Structures are given as C-alpha cells and as structure tokens.
Structure 1
Amino acid sequence: MNMNSRNVTYSTVGDYQLPNLTLPQQEKALGKYGRLRRTYLMKHRPVLYNSMLLSGTLHPHLLEVEQTAESRMQQTMQELLKQNPAPNKERHQMEWVQHMNSLKAQAEELVMNELIYS
C-alpha cells in the first residue's frame, strides 16, 4: 500500500488548511507547430484526437510533428535561399528583410500543408 498521503504539506489560506498539490508536468512544452497540429486534430479529426488522447500517444505525436516541422522549415529555407539568393544585408537591409520574410512564408505554407493539415 502506498503511503504518499503522509507526505502532503499544507498551507493556511484564511481559516482553511489547503494541501500543496502540483500537477505532473509534461516532459516538453509544445511549440507553434505542435499546438497548430493539436488544434487541427481537435477541430477536424476529433475521433483520431480522442483516440490518441486516451491511448497516451497524442503528446508524443505532437512533439514529433513539432520537431519534424522545425527541421523541414530549416531545410526548405536553405533550398529556397539557394534558388533565390537574398540581397546584400548590409547595403539593402529592408530588401533583405522583405526577401527573407517572403521565403519564410513560402516555407511555412509548404510545411503547414505537408505536416499540420494532413
């Protein structure tokens, strides 16, 4: 029999003694792509979402999507930069920023369609 209940500490709040309880933390917080995937599954694939949630495979799946999406973003950005080199950053700062933002938007659209919304 587990006797962990004896190790509970209490704090006084007004006239009450409340236990100091904490929820177990997830191993790693989800990033942007993991959260987007979770939202997509909840709204558009609820049966799959609930099945994964109940079986304990949802969080590992979301972490895998997150890591894969980050990796694909870096790879796609490198490929797009090879095809469309950026202007000189020191001489043309605004053009460089616009160029990089445009490439990032293209890469993110590809990653979203490939990994998040599928």
Structure 2
Amino acid sequence: MKKHIYDKKNGLSYTLTGDYYLPDLLPPQEETPDYGKYGSLRLRYLKEYKRGMYISLLTQGKLVKHLNTVDKEASERMEYLIQLMKRQHGITEQLKAEDQMKWVGLMNNIKSAAEEIILKELVYI
C-alpha cells in the first residue's frame, strides 16, 4: 500500500496511518523551523494562552513563519538593548579589564532587564 495518495474527486491527499488512510488536513508549512529560545517561548505561550491564534496560524501554514519572525526580531532587539544599556551605564572593556566581577554583575543586570523587556513586548503579547 502506498504511504500517500491523492484523490482527484475531492482534491484531498491522504496518508496511511496503520491500516487506514487519514486526510491531510494541515497545509504544508511554508518555511523550515529555525527559531530558537524566543520562538519556542512564543510557541508555548500561543498554545497555552492564545489557543485561537495558535490554531489559526497552524491551519493557514503560517505558524513557523510567525515563530521565525518573532525569534529573529527578539534576538536583534536583545543585542540592540544590551549595547544601548552598556553605553548608558558606562560599561566598557576597560572596566572589564580592571574589575571583572563588577563587569559581570553589571552585564548580568543589563541582560536580565533587556530580556524582561523583550519577553513583555514581543513574546507574551
């Protein structure tokens, strides 16, 4: 038996699952998934709290594109915010050379603040 068949009468394709052919209800995804941390967080948020939006994106074949976009935008904004905050707080390579522990503490604070902004403005909306 063939794994996939196409019925010209109704325009549906079917996949063999066990002994039965089940219709392929979801359209093929337009992009390959290459999202990271923020895309995964967005996916989990959509599944748990925005179920209608999740199902809509999934059935239209736009879910992967949406997650890739959110992940890319969040990563780019994260880098931008970190650089901006470093300049505002006067964190330099000289400080890193002179007092590493202070530099690490300040950088951790900046990364935490930037990530909180990213999660609030891009991921959990």
Among residues 43, 52, 59, which one is paired with 1:38 in the alignment?
43
Correspondence for 1:5: none
Percent identical residues: 37
Correspondence for 1:66: 71
* TM-score, with structure 2 as normaliser: 0.71
- Paired AA for residue 37 in structure 1: R
Matched residues in 1 for 2:99 and 2:108: separation?
Answer: 14
The gaps in structure 2 that reach 5 residues or longer are 1-5, 7-30
Correspondence for 2:102: 95
1:56 aligns with 2:52: no
* TM-score, with structure 1 as normaliser: 0.75
The gaps in structure 1 that reach 5 residues or longer are 2-25
Pick the structure with more strand per residue: 2
RMSD, aligned CA: 1.5
**For 1:44-65, what per-residue CA distance to the aligned partner results, in whole angstroms no more than 9, with x for missing partners?**
0001101111111000000000
3-state SS of the aligned residue for 1:89?
helix
Matched residues in 1 for 2:98 and 2:73: separation?
Answer: 35
> What is the number of equivalent residue pairs in this alignment?
94
